[in-house]
Amino acid sequence: MIKITKDDFSVDEVLNEIRSNGMGCVVTFVGVVRDNSKGRPVERIEIQVYEEMALKQLQAIREEAIDKFSVDEIAILHRYGSLKVSDKIMMIAVGAGHRAEAFNACRYVIDTIKERVPIWKKEITPDGDFWVEEKRDERH
C-alpha cells in the first residue's frame, strides 16, 4: 500500500490491511507535527509534494525494502497540505516473520524517503516561515 493524501488516516486500518497470518510482527513508524524545531516554536507545517514522482519513488523504495530485508509487506502513507501540531504526517508499517528484519526495513524506508522522495516541508512559526532542509545522515 502506497498512498499520498491530504486526509488524515487510521493507523488501525493500515495495520488491518497489511496483516497476514504468516507475520510474527508489524513494526510501525508514525511521524507527527511537533511544536518546536531548532529552538523555535512551530504553529503548523505546510507540506508540498510532486505527487507523480513521489508515488514512483515510494513504490520503488517499498519494493527495494521487501527484497533487501525479506519482509512480507510494507505500507507507506504520507500527507501533504497544511498540518497542525500533533497531526499525523506519515506512517510506515512493515509486516514480517521476525522483528529484526521489520525494524531494519522500517529504518531503511524512512531514511531513503528523506533522501529520494520529492516532498518539502515549510514550518510556520511566530518568527516567520522556514523551509526544512533535511540532513541526509541525521538520525532522530
What pLDDT does 120 receive?
95
Which superfamily does 2-131 belong to?
Molybdopterin biosynthesis MoaE subunit (3.90.1170.40)
- Give the residue extent of every domain in the chain: 2-131
Q: How do residues 4-41 score in pLDDT, each as one tens digit?
A: 999 999 999 999 999 988 899 999 999 999 999 988 99
How do beta strands 2-5 and 73-79 pair?
A: parallel
Cell of 81: 497540505
Amino acid at 76: I
Q: Which of 80, 61, 60 is nearest to 120 (CA)?
A: 80
- The one-letter amino acid at 77: L
Residues 62-104: tens digit of each pLDDT: 999 999 999 999 999 999 999 999 999 999 999 999 999 999 9
3-state SS class at 113 = helix
- Look up residue 140 and give its amino acid: H
Residues forming beta bridges with residue 78, ordered by sequence position: 4, 90
User: How far is it, in rounded angstroms, from Cα 139 to Cα 5?
Assistant: 26
Give the residue among 26, 4, 2, 23 at the shortest CA–CA distance from 89: 4
